[in-house]
Chain A
């Protein structure tokens, strides 16, 4: 029989309910697997074995499918009494006095917290290397990045630490690591999952979402998380969407568009091959392949995104001053000195650059030209997407132009690096759902692609994912550098 850690969420839950194994046995298998991989992968910022074992004492009392299922959380999700760092020195050993809504929902359903996992500091980055706790490595090839910013969440699921995890996506931070790590990741529609307790980066762009090794597991997690939360004023207020898994869904008559402007952009061969392959499968499944034109998005989305993300980020990061929580100094002679010392030491260099950029853009003299202009460009982008979705059900596109890069292989010019986010960040600007799905392997490395839907089409998007998974096959657990 396979090891328990290899089970996906639904199978593990079925096994537990059928009494085939105990929650302890499941946890032990996952924990052992995590421990054997961790020296190579380094996904954890904080391991919470003791907390998990306490939780296990109460397992088996809930009928929830999450009861007794181990998970990990990106370390920008607040966990009461458990260190939460956002991968920054500035938070020190902060133990939040409250739970993020998503963790509250999972905890109350009996999910077991194995640990808080690595990310780029304050979710600013796409390698999971920009962390005060060091870089996490890709479980398929530990010389490569797992992607970011939710790299720890993706790596832990890909390597079989846990069957599912949560991350956050501000400009691709779920979809890109899911793709690099060869699993599924959903960035839900903005407003579908409560952000309460998510340490903000760009508040109007941030969204929490799940990682898993099957689309069905994404559906299970979404069924729990997609509910109104009064604690988040941007939380949707309609009735809960239905994420019920149906293995027999099909795509007959669905219109799937390719983006005209993206056709001329260069892609790594495995990715362009995967695009062609998936197109064929979709046609084969009865879908109609069309084309949409997104001229504003392809040209202005990157600039618009970074202008807004940084403008919001610098205000979100103003609270870190050493007075109330986190890293601090004791011997400052004045308050200004205290703030300066705390912030200059506490923030990493990428974060500092973005704070300065955000401050610069929103200065009274430049605000109109940059920040306000970006909010207007965003309107054009949302309108362009809305028009596109009048004539199409989904847009198929890459997640990234290349496969997971080597660690340390970064562009000297950050702006060029930012341009590679063109495939993911427009989705956040318009608040759309985006599914990053596994298509196969190119050698050791997994190849992922992305399907985008209109706002609130998350259930349909995951149904399309079910079809794609049926045809493309599910990913295998990565070797985790263990072998």
Chain B
């Protein structure tokens, strides 16, 4: 009997918060660092008589995100009412484009098990409103076991993009690469910051199994994953669970399961599946997007990270791995590009950004490159000073650290570090060398006698000189001057 082969068939739904100043249907702020229920108004509280008003930026950001996923903008889209009762949903229905989305038909490339590129098709991206947030009274803060909950509607009406993939994903690993690449592209487009720790990206997965004996398992919707890791674990768990059932000849139930991150399991949802029906949102006429707007937004689209990495390899001769690393985070990559633009040598700039800039940012827990004190131009000047022989690499690092710690310019830092730019050279160097030689007559004798055939003693003298100048002399000049004096 041949072994049964199971192929997971996975579709992924992602909710991403779009980056705007105001909510999707009202002029309330999207800033969440405030007291509960302060950024609310009749519209996002669903008060009787209030009417939604669509935010221009939400549409534009939705287009940007869609273009980042290789989608096509639809000239006409529509909003619907998606009904279910839940205390965080103030109108008892969510306004969502579910059936006629703003962008459709894209793809994201990932690597399959054999390392080959594979397209995960994106069915569509649609705009919708977020619900309020719930805080539960249970000791672990979870919904299960909570006798009471508290609702904060500050999040109600936040603009969301829901991205629905085709069931093209075949493993948890592919799923993670899909969402990682997607996230990076969306950030690049400027549509969202997608800060995971702020809950700006949430995942659901539809998992089913195809068996080599021709059986198909039913689709299970797995909900409640808030991190890449949770997505990966939940899919792995669900694949294992379904395979086990199918191997024993059991039936997979079509159901909604919740990922329990603490326990690392999915559990059948105890709440009866939300009853959903859609009617056209009568308070919002169709959203019409003309070609001029599409063109304008298309022209706003920055280079995508994978494309950019390719360019780094070709134009800047960076190794692929360095290019991938640099393009992972857009603002870091932008910083690097700004250095190159300011005239820095790309390889050297890449090295500095990867090592020194990131090191200091980590040490100081700076999250955005924009908040990092040293501008690309300053870093470029610093690198130029190394290349121009005015500073040694060691000195430059010292200057760099001083600048980042004290928020000052290069000149001030150089001075404060006690470095004289260009180092010890010329007459001063000669004098130091002479004094070093004078202090070591035995070594001089040995060299003069010709016994130092391997140049060990010469190197020893050079070392003493470098120590004396605190590294502030060019090694080449030291050795040249030293030889000149010895031969004189």
A363 pairs with B277, CB closer than 8 A: yes
Instruction: Say how far A346's CB is from chain B's closest CB, in angstroms.
Output: 13
Main secondary structure of the interface of A (DSSP, over half): loop
Tell whether A311 is near chain B: CB-to-CB under 8 Å.
yes
B83 pairs with A321, CB closer than 8 A: no
Interface string of B139-183 (1 = CB under 8 A from A): 000000000000100000000000000000000000000000000
Tell whether B92 is near chain A: CB-to-CB under 8 Å.
yes
**Assuming A203-B282, A315-B279, A324-B45, is B91 touching A233 (CB within 8 A)?**
no
C-alpha spacing A98/B283, complex, angstroms: 19
**Assuming A196-B50, A197-B49, is B92 touching A318 (CB within 8 A)?**
yes
Instruction: Say how far B375's CB is from chain A's closest CB, in angstroms.
Output: 42
Tell whether B263 is near chain A: CB-to-CB under 8 Å.
no
Kindly specify which of B51-59, B188-196, B409-417 makes contact with the partner chain: B51-59
Tell whether A468 is near chain B: CB-to-CB under 8 Å.
no
Interface string of A186-228 (1 = CB under 8 A from B): 0000000001111110111000000000000000000000000
- Using CB atoms, name the residue of chain B closest to A340: B85
Q: Which residues of B contact A204 (CB under 8 A)?
A: 282
Tell whether B46 is near chain A: CB-to-CB under 8 Å.
yes
B277 pairs with A364, CB closer than 8 A: yes
Tell whether A242 is near chain B: CB-to-CB under 8 Å.
no
Interface string of A51-88 (1 = CB under 8 A from B): 00000000000000000000000001110000010100
Tell whether A418 is near chain B: CB-to-CB under 8 Å.
no
**Assuming A318-B91, A319-B92, is B283 touching A233 (CB within 8 A)?**
yes
Main secondary structure of the interface of B (DSSP, over half): loop
Instruction: Say how far B128's CB is from chain A's closest CB, in angstroms.
Output: 15
A233 pairs with B53, CB closer than 8 A: yes
**Assuming A96-B48, A315-B92, A364-B277, is B85 touching A230 (CB within 8 A)?**
no
| CB interface residues, A 359-373, toward B, < 8 Å | 359, 362-364, 367, 371
C-alpha spacing A277/B45, complex, angstroms: 52
Instruction: Say how far A263's CB is from chain B's closest CB, in angstroms.
Output: 34
B51 pairs with A231, CB closer than 8 A: yes
Q: Which residues of B contact A108 (CB under 8 A)?
A: none
**Assuming A231-B51, A375-B280, is B93 touching A318 (CB within 8 A)?**
yes
Q: Which residues of B contact A375 (CB under 8 A)?
A: 280
Q: Which residues of A contact B319 (CB under 8 A)?
A: none
B85 pairs with A318, CB closer than 8 A: yes
Q: Which residues of A contact B49 (CB under 8 A)?
A: 76-78, 96, 98, 100, 196-200
B50 pairs with A324, CB closer than 8 A: no
B85 pairs with A233, CB closer than 8 A: no
Q: Which residues of A contact B471 (CB under 8 A)?
A: none
Which of B54, B90, B280 is close to A233, meaning CB atoms less than 8 Å apart?
A: B54
A233 pairs with B47, CB closer than 8 A: no
C-alpha spacing A202/B81, complex, angstroms: 14
**Assuming A97-B47, A200-B48, A318-B85, is B53 touching A230 (CB within 8 A)?**
yes
Tell whether B42 is near chain A: CB-to-CB under 8 Å.
yes
A233 pairs with B277, CB closer than 8 A: no
C-alpha spacing A425/B304, complex, angstroms: 54
Which of B87, B91, B92, B277 is close to A362, meaning CB atoms less than 8 Å apart?
A: B277
A234 pairs with B279, CB closer than 8 A: no
C-alpha spacing A323/B52, complex, angstroms: 21
Interface string of B26-61 (1 = CB under 8 A from A): 000000000000000010011111111110000000
Tell whether B215 is near chain A: CB-to-CB under 8 Å.
no
B51 pairs with A195, CB closer than 8 A: yes
C-alpha spacing A446/B52, complex, angstroms: 41
C-alpha spacing A418/B408, complex, angstroms: 80
C-alpha spacing A324/B156, complex, angstroms: 13
Interface string of B58-99 (1 = CB under 8 A from A): 000000000000000000000001010111001111000000
C-alpha spacing A231/B42, complex, angstroms: 11
- Using CB atoms, name the residue of chain B closest to A195: B51
Tell whether B285 is near chain A: CB-to-CB under 8 Å.
yes
Q: Which residues of B contact A97 (CB under 8 A)?
A: 42, 47
C-alpha spacing A335/B51, complex, angstroms: 26
B282 pairs with A312, CB closer than 8 A: yes
Interface string of B188-209 (1 = CB under 8 A from A): 0000000000000000000000
Q: Which residues of A contact B52 (CB under 8 A)?
A: 233
- Using CB atoms, name the residue of chain B closest to A333: B147
Tell whether B276 is near chain A: CB-to-CB under 8 Å.
yes
* 27 contacts across the A-B interface (CB closer than 8 A): A78-B49, A94-B48, A96-B42, A96-B48, A96-B49, A199-B48, A200-B48, A200-B49, A200-B283, A230-B53, A233-B51, A233-B52, A233-B284, A315-B81, A317-B92, A318-B91, A318-B93, A319-B46, A323-B87, A323-B151, A335-B86, A336-B85, A362-B278, A364-B276, A367-B277, A367-B278, A371-B279
5 nearest A-B residue pairs (beta carbon): A318-B92, A204-B282, A203-B282, A197-B49, A199-B48
